[in-house]
A and B are shown apart, each in its own frame.
Chain A
């Protein structure tokens, strides 16, 4: 049942709740904190008449601007149509929710945020077209996409246009390397591969592997390669690696080969649609070994048409409601306030990244102090310890955050939290 929280480990061990909030220099100080400081008690009587006078003067010349500030335009590029739309639709809602929360608190630098939604049609060509439309729309920044392949296409276009792009779950290594305007709020595949290899080796104690890779898919190929390298590094052996098409529906050929190899574990760095079919067909032909996947599996338990997925199936993800950080709780309460009891049914464990991406952008604007893309890019690049719901984000020159990884197990009741692995 989607949305039911299953916590298998004590979360007290996690250091997230104790971590102090640290702000980089120049970041805006909260007004409520500042007003209660001793400095404020001196400044207010002196500055108040000046401030009132300035307001009247400015109001005399710009009465309209003062009454209805122009919104800040932000683009959200996800898949509204195509094979990935089912998984991608909540992403828009998360961005809108985050924007609403910001606007409810007075917007950013006095201006509300307006989110324009663009559709990648679940394809790279669609993503390219969306990037072109974004450039034409003259937005301040782009939130998304969630697929690495689409990010690879959009990045050069947005880089050329000087529009900061904050990808959400595009974990392929090369994404942010395409330009200094390209950021992401998720971990990268090499870190994910390391975590997966470790989890396979240590937690699942697998020694012989079979790997099923989506042919030529940048996410799947890079994650497979990194995983094989790290698993082999630990002494494990990859018995067979097979490739398939993401749009295929019959995986008999690949699974028969897996059956012949009879590995301890099968690693499938695919996406919800194809993985769901693979899992069902594998169990049907009698493969009983655990299956392991990357964050591409996120939300697989919510694909009602796939039905319950039997056997031991694990995958990495970005967030889980069981994470008890203040930011995560804020997100949970916001979700509850906005969507009610069914809030967790509206999203999956990857959608916290969209929420974080918009909040990171807002944080960057505030730190930049003006609505200038270059300044915002600078502010983004200088992000340190941003308290995202999916984890703390810090960019140290690479524009790739080093974040904790959540490992989940698919059960009949939903995605159960297994463990969380910090970057080393």
Chain B
């Protein structure tokens, strides 16, 4: 650096002014050029306008060669300021008139002559003599015809003077401006910049020497330098404060680093820092070092500096994820331990800058044990789920408060006919499972009271309306903090039926024993009564010789006596005795059927033939015909193809069929209102190892109470004296006892009754069912 600011600024100012002056001169020159051209153009326009206004008159006067008039006219025109002379020419360029301004003539400057070239050029203007004179020429035309030429010499010397004056004024202005600015700037510079800068320099030198010179005397040196001094002072203060704060921050940083280092080293998880570029181990905490058998040198260097925990491809994938997605979080991975075993880990990694190197901070959590436990838990859940699903008992999980069904198993859906989706979220009340809502309410009440239910028998209903009996066991349990009812239902409808049947059978068996004794005891007196009644009848008959002989012997008129008997209805009494005794005998005979064991008569039977025989008997049954017209009933018999042959006692089975047909006909006949198209369907189908015979009517059916008692001996719904009440019980006895079959009655909701008989097939004639 050389030269003072003062000198250099002086030089710069001069240079700047020189450039400005040059620019001014250049711009001025171009402006002048433009201005001059504009001026000339304006003059031309003016002259042209003047001539245009006079053109018509000029043309006419030229045409008439009115020279005097033309001279007068040109004299008017030449009086215009700065016009030196005007000349008028004919079309052959001969000058006709020439007028000169008086002043111009007096000034001694002769009017410049017009060169013919100007005229021949067709008009326009030309500047000559260095902006001194403008030569204007124009054709005088009228009616599209050229009449001559007009030439005007215009004085431009004024313009030249104006140009000269402009440049002189501009130069003087520039010079004065330059000198004043130079003086002023120099003074300002010294007073407000150079002197204060020197003082500031002295102050800085003092700062270097360790003391601070007061800068108060710079206040008057202008805003900028004064401000600079203040800034300088405040900067020094702030610098000191910054140093102090820096020390504190460094200390805090060291402490923080220590803490984080401690956290890093003693973290219970394996933490490692690796290079993002090549996977080198840059740092690792103690857990990591211990688990991977790495040694750490005092310099912090790890040996070995690389590990191959995961296959290279996966390592590259992790690095990509860290770079592109900003990290890997809780990724399940399997890594190879140094001892060759595999370990399940949760791997997380984020990119960091370690020192100056792009790195990734990775943390691994060993989840091998946790995974194993989760696996077992899952298996256990699956097991219990399977148990729940495949349980033969219907299981129902109901939310205790909302009573909504939470879950059901397959047995439940099978039992009730509802799909799982239909059940979930709805209540058993909404599904209509319980036959009696009061019963359901009672169950809930008891369960809410903390009681357990075990094998409570409840009436339930299938989706299709079929009534079922279930054994219900229920407990309350807590799942996920909420109370549920776990209810297990077992369908015991069949069991109940079997129980009924067993009771019935027991009744029959005891009935058989009793019947045998009673029959024997009653048959003898009955024989006596019947015989006595028969004798009474026989021995009053008139046609018997013996009777007549005895009557004659005692003097009795048999005819009169018979008349007496008839009138006094004694004959009827005898008949009544006979019929009553026969009826009693019939009952006794039926009772004896309970005790019969006639296996000897068992043989292969044609069920279809037996059915048709029974039908034939029914149709010819006098009693039946008397009360019920069997012929009006449409009987439909269907025998399946593959019915296995059975071994049975034909007469007994036939009697069973007859009883059932008779019962059906009676039920139809008694129906109120009458059945419109009465029918009885008989069907024989083969089961596996059995034959099922179903006899169904479309009569009024029966109530559940009747159905339960229908096979009881002496139970009848008929008026007294009509039936013995033994038909169905005997039939039941024949099927169940004599043939080891099964028999039950149903009364579907649609009406009618169905009697179902299942007889064991021939292959297993004595098989248990």
Q: Which residues of A contact B (CB under 8 A)?
A: 123-126, 128-129, 149, 214-218, 243-248
Contact = CB atoms under 8 A, between A and B. Distances in A.
B150 to A, nearest CB: 16
Nearest to A213: B68
B73 interface: yes
B64 A247 contact: no
A124 B145 CA distance: 13
A243 B72 contact: yes
Given A124-B63, A125-B63, A245 B69 contact: yes
A215 B68 CA distance: 6
B157 interface: no
Given A123-B56, A129-B143, A248-B76, A243 B63 contact: no
B61 interface: yes
Given A216-B66, A216-B67, A123 B60 contact: yes
A246 B73 CA distance: 10
A247 B55 CA distance: 12
Contact of A125 (B69, B70, B72, B145): B145
Contacts of B346: none
Contacts of B61: 216
B755 to A, nearest CB: 135
Most chain B CB atoms below 10 A, which of A243, A244, A245, A246 = A245
Nearest to A129: B143
B577 interface: no
A215 B142 contact: no
Contacts of B142: 123, 125
Most chain B CB atoms below 10 A, which of A124, A128, A129, A248 = A124
Contacts of B70: 216
Q: Which are the 9 A-B pairs with shortest beta-carbon distances? A: A216-B66, A215-B69, A215-B68, A216-B69, A123-B60, A216-B68, A125-B143, A245-B72, A125-B142
Most chain A CB atoms below 10 A, which of B59, B60, B66 = B60
Nearest to A247: B57
A149 B64 contact: yes
Contacts of B71: 215
A63 B56 CA distance: 52
Given A125-B60, A129-B143, 9 more contacts: A128-B143, A215-B72, A216-B61, A216-B66, A217-B66, A243-B72, A245-B73, A246-B69, A248-B72
Nearest to A244: B72
A175 to B, nearest CB: 14
A247 B145 CA distance: 22
Interface of A is mostly: mixed
B60 A215 contact: no
Interface string B69-106: 11111001000000000000000000000000000000
Given A123-B56, A125-B142, A215-B69, A245 B76 contact: yes
A121 to B, nearest CB: 9
Interface in B29-70: 56-57, 59-61, 63-64, 66-70
A69 B95 CA distance: 56
B475 to A, nearest CB: 130
B76 A216 contact: no
Contacts of A243: 68-69, 72
A126 B70 CA distance: 19
A246 to B, nearest CB: 8
Contacts of B73: 245
Contacts of B60: 123-125
B354 to A, nearest CB: 105
Given A243-B72, A245-B72, A216 B64 contact: yes
A86 to B, nearest CB: 17
Contact of B66 (A128, A129, A215): A215
Contacts of B64: 124, 149, 216, 218
Contacts of B57: 245, 247
A215 B65 CA distance: 11
Contacts of A126: 143
A411 to B, nearest CB: 32
Contacts of B66: 215-217
A47 B406 CA distance: 145
A245 B143 CA distance: 22
Contacts of B145: 125
A212 to B, nearest CB: 12
Contacts of B56: 123
A125 B59 contact: yes
14 contacts: A123-B56, A123-B60, A124-B64, A214-B69, A215-B68, A216-B66, A216-B67, A216-B68, A243-B72, A245-B57, A245-B69, A245-B72, A246-B69, A248-B72
B650 to A, nearest CB: 146
A40 to B, nearest CB: 56
Nearest to B71: A215
Interface in B122-170: 142-143, 145
A360 to B, nearest CB: 28
A126 B66 CA distance: 17
A277 B59 CA distance: 24
Contacts of A149: 64
Contacts of A124: 60, 63-64
Most chain A CB atoms below 10 A, which of B56, B63, B76 = B56
Nearest to A82: B56
A174 to B, nearest CB: 13
Contacts of A214: 69
A346 B69 CA distance: 33
A68 B295 CA distance: 141
Nearest to A245: B72
A217 B69 contact: yes
Interface string B599-627: 00000000000000000000000000000
Contacts of A216: 61, 64, 66-70
A290 B313 CA distance: 133
A129 B61 CA distance: 16
Contacts of A215: 66, 68-69, 71-72
A124 B65 CA distance: 12
A92 to B, nearest CB: 21
B315 to A, nearest CB: 108
A261 to B, nearest CB: 19
A72 to B, nearest CB: 29
A90 B142 CA distance: 26
B668 to A, nearest CB: 129
B332 to A, nearest CB: 110
Nearest to B54: A247
A129 B143 CA distance: 8
A174 B539 CA distance: 205
Most chain B CB atoms below 10 A, which of A129, A215, A218, A248 = A215
Contacts of A246: 69
Contacts of A247: 57
A246 B61 CA distance: 11
Nearest to B73: A245
Nearest to A126: B143
Nearest to A149: B64
Nearest to B61: A216
Contacts of A218: 64
Contacts of B76: 245, 248
A128 B73 CA distance: 23
A396 to B, nearest CB: 30
Nearest to B67: A216
A215 B73 CA distance: 10
Nearest to B66: A216
